[in-house]
Amino acid sequence: MARPIKETPVLRGKAAAKFNNQLFHNRNKRATSTEFEDLKRDFEFIKAMSRNAE
């Protein structure tokens, strides 16, 4: 039997400020072409595995 999913907590105080700072500093950061190719290869692998499970 599955467990119920808990609600996502709301960030407050220092945790919220840290999250907003990280979001602000990384807003224009892009993946390199090699990182993108690695992610794409991993996605294709997982997609193929899910087809085999059906």
pLDDT tens per residue across span 15-34: 999 999 999 999 999 989 99
Distance CA 14, CA 6 (A): 22
Question: Which tokens belong to 50?
Answer: 């899910």
Question: Which tokens belong to 2?
Answer: 């599955």
The H or E element spanning position 5 is none
- Asked if the model's pLDDT at residue 8 lies above 80, the reply is yes
Handedness of CA 15, 8, 30, 41 (dihedral sign): positive
The model's confidence at residue 51, banded by pLDDT at 50, 70 and 90, is confident
- Asked if the model's pLDDT at residue 4 lies above 80, the reply is yes
